[in-house]
């Protein structure tokens, strides 16, 4: 199937109502997909099995997001700190990333889904860099939904890179220091085209943000759930979205303000 030829699956949520669709969905949901290794160890399985199960769970959560009309999801797949893991585990994670891209590209492109990567892509294996570039190019014009995958990503690295580029513009005389404001910084980040997250979900019972979207998450709501990522089912995801819909988002004011936005 070529770009622009989008198939209509009778079960994809576009042709008929989805029975479990939440009453209201955020414009951008981000996931810290934690606990794959622990999930495997608790079941007496090698850590690799947990990462494999995690990829399958991502496919399910992506499908649910698509069916429910969530326009943008961001998945924290591999952090800058994850490079410090044992070489074998890093290799497994890179292989799974390749598999996810290769297996999913036809289906995602066919369903009008854009795929974008954020992170230090120069640190990825060369063949994976090419695969990412090809996937981004092929899906660049898709508009139904966007999947933003954070690989070799760290918010401090993102902010450092952004400040270096801005400083270089100032040093070259192309940018006046007084022209630097929040909007300009936001437009210079790796996530420049995307709206800030409305909801960030972290699995596995941990209560940390782990260097993820620090600038963008200034007014995000958080959901910390006990389940490890492979156990984060569609039903549990729906519960989280229903809880989000009941929250009063004031953005520093006194009255709730609805700022949920779509990507396009």
Taking phi first (over 0 means left), then psi (-120 to 50 degrees means alpha), and beta for anything else, what does residue 189 get?
beta
- The answer to whether residue 36 is catalytic is no
Question: Of 34, 109, 196, 198, which one is the catalytic site residue?
Answer: 34
Q: Hunting for tokens 């030829």 — which residue is that?
A: 5
- HEC string of the chain? CCCCCCCCCCCCCCCCCCCCCCCCCCCEEEEECCCHHHHHHHCCCCHHHHHHHHHHHHHHHHHHHHHHCCCEEEEEEEEHHHHHCCHHHHHHHHHHHHHHHHHHHHHHHHCCEEEEEECCHHHCCHHHHHHHHHHHHHHCCCCCEEEEEEEEECHHHHHHHHHHHHHHHHHCCCCCHHHCCHHHHHHHCCCCCCCCCCEEEECCCCCCCCCCCCCCCCCCEEEECCCCHHHCCHHHHHHHHHHHHCCCCCCCCCCCCCCCCCCC
Structure tokens that stand for 186 in this block: 């936001």
Question: Of 12, 82, 161, 211, which one is the catalytic site residue?
Answer: 82
- The answer to whether residue 82 is catalytic is yes
Asked if 43 and 234 count as a contact pair (C-beta separation under 8 A), the reply is no
Active-site amino acid positions:
34, 82
């Amino acid at each position: 199937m070529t770009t622009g030829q989008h198939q209509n699956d009778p079960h994809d949520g576009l042709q008929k109502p989805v029975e479990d669709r939440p009453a209201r969905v955020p414009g951008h949901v981000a996931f810290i997909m934690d606990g794959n290794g622990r999930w495997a160890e608790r079941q007496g399985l090698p850590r690799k099995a947990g990462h494999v199960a995690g990829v399958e769970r991502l496919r399910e959560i992506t499908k649910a997001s698509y069916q429910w009309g969530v326009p943008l999801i961001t998945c924290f797949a591999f952090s800058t700190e994850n490079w410090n893991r044992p070489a074998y585990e890093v290799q497994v994670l890179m292989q799974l990333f390749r598999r996810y891209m290769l297996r999913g590209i036809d289906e995602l492109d066919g369903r009008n889904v854009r795929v974008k990567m954020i992170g230090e892509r120069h640190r990825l294996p060369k063949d994976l860099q090419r695969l990412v570039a090809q996937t981004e190019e092929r899906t660049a014009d898709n508009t139904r939904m966007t999947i933003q995958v954070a690989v070799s990503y760290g918010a401090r690295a993102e902010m450092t890179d952004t400040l270096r580029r801005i400083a270089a513009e100032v040093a070259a005389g192309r940018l006046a220091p007084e022209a630097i404001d929040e909007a300009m910084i936001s437009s210079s980040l790796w996530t420049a085209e995307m709206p800030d997250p409305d909801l960030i979900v972290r699995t596995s019972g941990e209560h940390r943000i782990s260097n993820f979207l620090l600038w963008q998450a200034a007014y995000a709501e958080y959901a910390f759930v006990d389940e490890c990522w492979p156990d984060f089912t569609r039903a549990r995801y729906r519960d989280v979205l229903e809880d989000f819909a009941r929250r009063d988002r004031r953005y520093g004011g006194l009255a709730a303000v609805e700022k949920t936005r779509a990507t396009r």
